[in-house]
Amino acid sequence: MTIRINYGLDQWVPPAIRDAKWFMRPAMKALFRKRTDDFTSFKEKAFGLSAEEFSAVYRRVAPVVIDRETDLNRKCTERIRTSIAGGTVLEAGAGRGYLAGLLSQKFEVTATDIIVSDEVRERHPRVSFQEANVESLPFADDSFDTVVCTHTLEHVQNLPAAVRELRRIAKQRLIIVVPRQRPYRHSFDLHIHFFPYAWSLHSQFGYRAGARIELLGDWFYVEDNPSAQ
């Protein structure tokens, strides 16, 4: 449903209207109430915030964001499950732990996020959770056979640094999922990077020969480490 709503807004609402505060603010006000200003001003401020200020915004809006187990759709979830290489997995940006918990039924899984609650740790006891920023991960090179990062890179302040870190610790395979979305001034999220086309991923991640991109509602991206071939 979210994919369909975003697609309709992106494709059928003219940019001049979509970017207008008078058009977006009423719906945002209904959804986000007193936190509306955090959403409407975030994109213009995000890159100048300190790490602590950046995290503080996410803490403030946590009570009003849509409460769901995962942002992944079924197609991407199933493709991830069948695309894991090797036996050790890191999920960077694990959120509420849905995917990490699912993968831990078959693989040895470590999961990171900026904030990991006790409730998430207790719900997924087979997963080793660590608090860490995807832009600076506390692991050695080639630490995990497969590294997975879903619905995270659209949020980070330093996208090139985050991608470098993911590649650095992926011994065999890197899997990334990001939303297909056009850039607009006002949106119902805190996204600051946008990927409207397949080539947008190559442009922002840096081109890698052999990388595979599929549209499964969201963009599903896979690249293998050449040294593991």
pLDDT in tens, 134-168: 999 999 999 999 999 999 999 999 999 999 999 99
Do 48 and 97 have their domain in common?
A: no
Asked whether residue 97 is domain-assigned, the answer is yes
Contacts of residue 5, defined as CB under 8 A and 6 or more positions apart, other chains included, come to none
Residue recorded with tokens 């330093």: 158
Do 187 and 126 have their domain in common?
A: yes
Which of 27, 61, 95 is where one domain is finished? 61
Do 44 and 87 have their domain in common?
A: no
- Taking only the tens place, the pLDDT of each residue in 28-66 is 999 899 999 999 999 999 999 998 899 899 889 988 876
Tokens matching residue 87: 């036996």
Asked whether residue 113 is domain-assigned, the answer is yes
Average pLDDT over residues 115-120: 90
The pLDDT assigned to 229 comes to 58
The pLDDT assigned to 1 comes to 74
* Domain CATH for 144: 3.40.50.150
Report the predicted TM-score, pTM, of the whole model to 2 decimal places: 0.93
SS3 content of the chain, % helix, strand, coil (to 5): 40, 20, 40
Provide the 3-class DSSP secondary structure of residue 222: strand
Burial of residue 130 (number of CB atoms within 10 Å: 0-12, 13-18, 19+): middle
Strands (E), the chain: 88-92, 108-113, 128-131, 144-150, 170-178, 212-216, 218-224
- Domain with 128, as residue range(s), is 74-228
Contacts of residue 37, defined as CB under 8 A and 6 or more positions apart, other chains included, come to none
Do 53 and 84 have their domain in common?
A: no
Confidence of residue 131 (pLDDT cuts 50, 70, 90): very high
Confidence of residue 7 (pLDDT cuts 50, 70, 90): confident
Do 107 and 10 have their domain in common?
A: no
- Taking only the tens place, the pLDDT of each residue in 214-226 is 999 999 999 998 7
Statement: residue 67 has pLDDT above 70: no
Asked whether residue 209 is domain-assigned, the answer is yes
Give the integer Cα–Cα distance in Å for 170 and 215. Answer: 23
* Single-letter amino acid, residue 94: A
If one counts the domains in the chain, the total is 2
